[in-house]
Amino acid sequence: MSEFELLAIPLSLILGLGVTHILTGVTDAIRERERVPLHWLPIAWAFLIFLFQVQYFFVLWDLNESGAIWTWPVFGPSLFNCVVLFLSAGLILPGSRQSDCTSLIDDFENHGRFSLVMLALMLLVAILLNVFQFQDSLLSTINMLNVILFVLVCCVLMIRRYGWQVAATLMFAAAQSYGLLAVWSVPGD
């Protein structure tokens, strides 16, 4: 078993548990829709976080293919980002055990926003890693995209006006789609 195969186990478990959080949260939201009215904004963010989790598997594979030596300076930030993605997934939607939740959008405003703090933290760490560990320019396409995504997440966090949150969310979804299709690690690449 190679170093990567061994170290990928805890990273994959953490990412997989995060995916489970997202899927369980969506399932619970659908089941509880009569008691807790659905709202598209938290579900959209849950989907966007889900895409980051799946895409992070490809980042790890790309890291392995690049010949990275799996020391703590390489493994530690990867582990940190997996944990932050897990926390983001766990905070975005209320669980079925949350009996005080009366609306998905209210829960998003009160609790789900902490999920976006975790997402912003992951993006910030990714920018710093790209610049300082992998020697990418801050002005490289991948870093500029991460900066744009970071700013858009911060906009959703800081701006309380619903219309602006919607606009920032839609711009985030468009930028993330571009990243998934054209910039970040892709399957089989």
pLDDT at 98: 66
pLDDT at 169: 97
Give the separation between CA 59 and CA 176, rounded to whole angstroms.
15
pLDDT at 122: 94
Give the separation between CA 116 and CA 53, rounded to whole angstroms.
14
* 67-72: long-range contacts, CB 8 A cutoff, minimum separation 24: 70/3, 70/4, 70/7
Structure tokens at 78: 């990867």
pLDDT at 186: 62
Give the separation between CA 6 and CA 3, rounded to whole angstroms.
5
Q: At what angle do helices 72-92 and 113-128 cross, to 10 degrees?
A: 160
What integer is the mean pLDDT of 34-46?
A: 92
- How confident is the model over 115-142, as pLDDT tens digits? 999 999 999 999 998 898 888 899 999 9
Asked if residue 189 has pLDDT above 60, the reply is no
Could you tell me if residue 188 is left (phi over 0), alpha (psi between -120 and 50 degrees) or otherwise beta? left
